């Protein structure tokens, strides 16, 4: 991380510079360890009040941390903490928008055909409104209704007076479930 200092009426000792660079090194680890980051630190004093401004560009977003305090290092630490919060937000946004999670595909035991079968990632559940009043049907009428492209049909059987379900199987045949 390349750090550029600008001091307005402020001079820093080499030991103080090392402390500031150590604090910014932790920020560099937070930024995915990219050492090419350029950080600008501007320090100024105004009527016994120390101002610190730390500027950094991350993923084409300017991040600026500004803090003021009676002590120089308190102001610097406050500015770096604000910069850390901004960096976490930008990094989270960048990760969410640029990376999408893959759908999980589970492997199931191989069938007799030889190859593994992939299971569906999610199963769908369809609710049937049994409170809706429909006229009773015979089995033949239900088969004709199912041929309109439906996968299943819940109907009131007129012969038995019970609710029945007619389901289309994968092989094209039909299953009848009687209550």
Evaluate whether 2-98 and 130-179 have a shared fold: no
How many C-beta neighbours within 10 Å does residue 155 have? 19
Long-range contacts of 59-64 (CB under 8 A, 24+ apart): 59/90, 59/91, 59/94, 61/90, 63/87, 63/90
User: Whose CA is closest to 4, among 57, 45, 49, 46?
Assistant: 57
Is the model's pLDDT at 100 over the cut of 70?
A: no
Give tens-digit pLDDT for 122-132.
788 777 666 66
Domain ranges of the chain: 2-98, 130-179
Q: What is the DSSP letter of 23?
A: H
Question: What does the pLDDT average to over 125-150?
Answer: 79
- Residue that is written with structure tokens 């920020």 in the block: 27
Return the CATH class of domain 130-179. Answer: alpha beta
Q: Could you confirm whether domain 2-98 is CATH 3.30.160.100?
A: yes
Is the model's pLDDT at 68 over the cut of 90?
A: yes
């Amino acid at each position: 991380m390349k750090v550029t200092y600008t001091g307005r009426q402020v001079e820093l000792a080499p030991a103080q510079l090392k402390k500031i660079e150590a604090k910014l090194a932790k920020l560099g680890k937070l930024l995915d360890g990219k050492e090419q980051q350029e950080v600008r630190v501007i320090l100024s004093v105004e009527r016994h009040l120390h101002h610190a401004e730390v500027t950094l560009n991350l993923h084409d977003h300017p991040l600026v941390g500004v803090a003021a305090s009676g002590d120089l290092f308190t102001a610097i630490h406050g500015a770096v903490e604000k910069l850390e919060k901004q960096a976490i937000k930008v990094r989270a946004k960048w990760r969410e928008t640029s990376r999408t999670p893959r759908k999980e595909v589970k492997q199931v035991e191989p069938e007799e055909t030889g190859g593994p079968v992939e299971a569906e990632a999610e199963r769908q559940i369809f609710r049937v409104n049994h409170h809706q009043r429909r006229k009773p049907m015979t089995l033949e009428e239900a088969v004709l209704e199912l041929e309109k492209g439906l996968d299943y049909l819940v109907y009131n059987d007129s012969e038995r007076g019970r609710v029945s379900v007619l389901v289309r199987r994968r092989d094209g045949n039909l299953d009848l479930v009687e209550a």
